[in-house]
Amino acid sequence: MALKKSNKPIIKYLADFLEYLAVEKGLSNKSQETYSRFVNKFYNWLELTNNRNLKPHELSPDHIWKYRVFLSKNINKVSGEALKKSSQNQCLIGLRNLLSYFAERNIASLPSDKVKLSKKSEEKTIKFLQLEQIEKLLLSPNIKTITGLRDRCILEVLFSTGMRVAELVSLNRNQLHFPPAQKNLEISIIGKGNRPRPVYFSERALYWLRKYLNSRNDDEGAVFIHYKGPKLSDWRLTTKSIENIVKKYAIKAGIPIHTVPHTLRHSFATDLLGKGVDIRTVQEFLGHKSILTTQIYTHVVSKKLKDIHSKFHSGKDLD
């Protein structure tokens, strides 16, 4: 089918693009918001450079080059630093997807492969906790209070399952069916990208989950809820609430203050890999769509093994 030139400016396609991501690509609302943010970055550049009326077929490699230069000089408003290469690439990936949308709609435009990504994107740093730090964190809540018991349960479940914080706050009590003698639990959740996957609760996490839920005398369906003093305040905890809870106990436990819920997910993954679990299995546990996402943990484990080898097998005791 012949490509058609559109008289509609590129910046007028955002709603259509997001609809395409939702309906044809099946992306979650969160993913749509992410792509919207990246594409809006490009739209802002078009505005700044007096190209707000630029049509899809008028977009040239020169425009792409100038946009890449703009991203490289862009300053993060929060940190005051230049955008990281990874952040620049995310913006360019958003633009690639917009161009792919034009191609699927037979709208004449620059091919998406003309948008080149940086080849020197810095290696992502994974922050994780050692097992002794995990133990300090888990032991820090005061379990004599209802909020402390809830918080202990939250920390145990995060480390046991490797769930994302958004997955944790979405948990409902009707998902948890376990007989009294059961020592572990498997449930199915809907994760990132609306992909279902199983998650597994260890015997220890299950103990604290039972203990917390048995202390509840309310009818709220959410597993983790707000309290004000000893009484129920409102309903389901938010992701921000969980982040604040983890930060609070990280400070109390005297572990790195950069600790966030995702740190426990990283710790879960590195602990499994460090104990010899194969990377494909860890990918399934984490719910990663691509093995490439999981492979970032292998760098951490490789360094850990190297340090162990250097410490215990250096050859210094040989004559």
Catalytic positions are 164, 192, 262, 265, 288, 297
Name the token pair of 198: 């199983």
- C-alpha closest to that of 137 among 256, 269, 225: 256
Spell out the long-range contacts of 48-55 with Cβ–Cβ below 8 A and sequence spacing 24 or more. 52/9, 52/11, 53/9, 54/9, 54/10, 55/5, 55/6, 55/7, 55/8, 55/9, 55/10
Helix (H) or strand (E) holding 93: helix 85-104
The residues, any chain, with a CB within 8 Å of residue 108's CB and separated by 6 or more, are 3, 4, 5, 6, 56, 57, 102
- Rounded distance between C-alpha atoms, residue 156 and residue 206, angstroms: 9
301: how many CB neighbours lie within 10 A of its CB?
Answer: 19
| Single-letter amino acid code for the residue at 134 | I
Residue 201, SS3 per DSSP: strand
Q: Residue 101: exposed, middle, or buried by beta-carbon count in 10 A (0-12, 13-18, 19+)?
A: buried
